[in-house]
Amino acid sequence: MSILIPLLILVPLACALVIFFSGPRAKAMVPFGILAALLTLLLSVGLCFEVYQAPSRLAGADGVTEPTIEPKVSFISDTLRFVLPISVGGHPIDWQLSFGADGISALMVLLTGIIGFFTVWLASSQIEKRTETYIALLLVAISMLMGVFLSMDLLSFYIFFEAVLIPLILLIHGWGNGKNPQAASKRFLLFTLAGSIPMVVGLISLAMSPNIHGQPSTVSFSELSRLASQAVSSGLPVGTKDTWAVWLLLLGFGIKLAILPLHTWLPMTYAAAHPNTTSLIASVVAKLGLYGILRIVIPLAPVALSIEAQMVIGTLGAIVIVYGALVALSKDNLREVLAFSSLSHVGFITLGLMSLTREGLGGAALQMFNHGLITAAMFWILSMLEQRHGTISLKSEDRGLAAQYPKLAVLLVFFTLAGAGLPGLNGFVGELLTMTGMMRVCATLVAIAVLGTVLGAWYGLRIVQRLLFGSDGPRVDAQHRSLSGTDLQPREWLPLVTIGVLCLYIGLFPMRTMKLFQPDTDRLAKLVEPVSKQTHRDMDTLVVESTNP
C-alpha cells in the first residue's frame, strides 16, 4: 500500500476544486496552482523512487503462469468495488478496483508530472484571460491522466481514460487561439468518443473472458494477464470472439494515438488549441493510446493481436512515419508542421510496440517518454515565438530570428536535433531500439521507417533554416507584441533547459532510465515473443544471433 498513489490523483484534483470555488479571490490563485503542480511533480518523482527501489521479481522457473502485469507499488481498498445486478454464467459481477504502478506506469507518471508542472508554470505567463480557470482545468487533466497511468484494472482505466476528455475539451474550446477552436473541440470529442465508446465493448468482453473457463469475471490486470499467459502456455486455441475485442480496443487506442486513417482530428486540434494546451495533449494525452496497447492489448490478448492485427497496425505505423513527415514538409504553419512531425514520431513507437519483441517493447516504452519530452519542448518554443510574433509561418522569408533570440535559437536547434534522432540525444536511443525490434519481424517496414528519419531531419532542418537563419537579418513584425524583440526570460528558458538536460541524460545513459521499466517489458516480451514467433515463422531469420539471452 502506497499512499503516494491516491495522493497523485487527488492532490491536483483537490487543488483544482479549490481554485474553482475560490470565487472573487480567483485571480490570486495562480501561484497556488503552480504550487499544486509542483507538489504533483514531487509526488511523481517519489513514486518513481519507490518503484525503482521495490524488489524486482523476475519471472522464475514457472514464469509463464505468473501474471505479466505486476504492480510493484499498489493501492487496493475494499471500498472501491463495483457490483452489478447481473450474473453471467452463474457468477455475479463483483469487480474490485485497484491502483498501482509498475515501471512503465511510473515512467508515464513521471512524464505527466514533469510536463504537467511546466505547462502550468508556462500558462501563468502565456495565458492572458481567465488564467486561474485554465490552470485549474490543467490540474484536472493532470489528475485524470495520473488516474489512467495508475489504474491497475480495466474499469478504473476506462473511467479515467474517458474523463481526460472533459477538461481537454473545455481547454480547447475555451482557450483555443487558432483556427476555429469550436469545430476542433467538437471533432476532438466525437473522434475520441467514436473510439472509446466501442472500446468499452471490447474491455467488457476482456473482463468476461474468464467466464469461458468457468471462473468469475474480473477486471484486474494481474488476474487477467495471468489467465492470458496460462492460455498461451497451454496452447489453447483462440476463439473468434477475442478478435472482436482486439479490434474494438485497437480502434479506441488507435484514434487516441492518431493512427493513419483515424488521424484527422489531430492536426485540426493542434492547430486550434493554444500551444501550451497542445504540449500537454501531444506529449501525454497522445500517449494514452500507446499506453493502452502496451498495458491492455499486448498482455491480455497476445494471441489474437499477433494473428490479427500485428502486421496491419505495424504497417500503418510505418506508413504514418513517412506520411507525417511528408505532410510536415509541405505545411507552412509551424503549428501544423509540429503536429504532423509529432504524428510521424508516434509512428516509431507504434512500430516498436507491434514488433512484439524485447527490444521493440523496451524501446517503445522509452520512446514514449522521450517523445513526450521533445514534443512538449517544441510546442513550448512555438508558444513563446507566437507570443512575440503572432502566427509563425515558414512560407515567405528567411526570418533570421537567431540574431534576435540567441538563447531560443540554441534550444530550438537542440530539440530539433533530439527529435531527428541525433546520436547522443534521447530520440536516437528510442528510435533505434524500436527499429531493431521490428527488424527481427519484418525488415521491409524498417526500411520504410528509416526513410522517415531522413525526412525527419529534412523538415527539422527546414524549420531551423526558415526561422533562425537567413539573409534578411533581424526584423520586427508589424504587430508589436509585448515581448517581441526580447530573448527568453528565466521563467521561459528554465523549463526548456530542464527538459534539455533530461534529453541529454537519457541520450548518454539510456540504460539507467531503462532499468526502471526493463523488468516489466522483459516479462511482457517473454510472453509475447513465442506467440509472435508462432505467427511469423520467418522471424529472426535476418538476425543471425538473437540479442535475446
Partner 1 sequence: MDLIQITKATVGHLTPEIVLLIGGTLVMCASVLTSKSARENIHTQRNNYAFASLLCLIAAVVARYWYGAPSIAPGDLGLFRFDASALASERLTFLGGLILILMSWSTAPKGRLAEYYGCLLIILAAIPIVGASNDLVSMFLGLELVSIPTYILLGIVKTDNSGAEATLKYFLLSAFASCFFLLGVSYLYGFCGSTNLSVIQASFGEGKRLMALGMLLAICGLSFRITAVPFHFYAPDVFEGTSVTMAGAMSYLPKVAGFVALIRLIGAGTLSSGASSVVIPVLLGCAALTMCVGNLLALAQNNLRRMMAYSSVAHTGYLLLAFVALIRQDASPGVMFSYLAAYAAMTLGLFACLGEIEAAGGKSHLIGDLAGMFQRRPAASIGLTVALISLIGLPFTAGFWAKFMVFVSAVADRRVDSISMLMGALMAINAVIAAGYYWRILSTLYSKSESQVPLRVFRPSLFFAYTICTVLTILWFFVPSAM
Contact by Cβ (8 Å): 238, 304: yes
Which lies closer to partner 1 via its Cβ, residue 127 or residue 364? 127
Smaller CB separation from partner 1, 234 or 240: 240
Q: How far apart are CA 540 and CA 357, in angstroms?
A: 10
Phi, psi (deg, nearest 5) at residue 263: -95, -5
Pick the closer one to partner 1 by CB: 167 or 347: 167
Grid look-up 524488489 returns: 55
Choice between 112 and 209, CB closer to partner 1: 209
**Rounded to the nearest whole angstrom, what is the least distance from the CB of residue 281 to partner 1 in the complex?**
18
Question: Is residue 86 within a helix (H) or strand (E), and if so which, with residue range?
Answer: strand 81-88
Distance (Å, rounded) from C-alpha 311 to C-alpha 536?
A: 10
Query: Residue with C-alpha cell 492532490?
Result: 11
Distance of CA 336 to CAs 126, 183, 269, 331, 412, Å?
Answer: 20, 16, 10, 6, 17
Q: Which is nearer to partner 1, 81 or 481 (CB)?
A: 81
Closest approach, Cβ 120 to partner 1, in A, equals: 22
Please, which residue, 29 or 255, has the CB nearer to partner 1?
Answer: 255
Q: Could you tell me if residue 102 is left (phi over 0), alpha (psi between -120 and 50 degrees) or otherwise beta?
A: beta
Which residues contact partner 1 by CB under 8 A? 82-89, 93, 159-160, 162-163, 165-166, 173-174, 182, 185-186, 189-190, 193-194, 197-198, 200-201, 204-205, 208, 211, 241, 244, 248
* Residue placing its CB nearer to partner 1 in the complex, 192 or 278: 192
Residue closer to partner 1, measured from CB, 188 or 379: 188
In sequence order, what are the beta bridge partners of 333? 393
CA neighbor of 203 nearest in space, from 190, 219, 216, 191: 219
Buried/exposed code over 9-47 (b: 16+ C-beta within 10 A; e: otherwise): bebbbebbeebbeeeeebeebbebbbebbebbbebbeeb
- Asked if 367 contacts 431 with a C-beta cutoff of 8 angstroms, the reply is yes
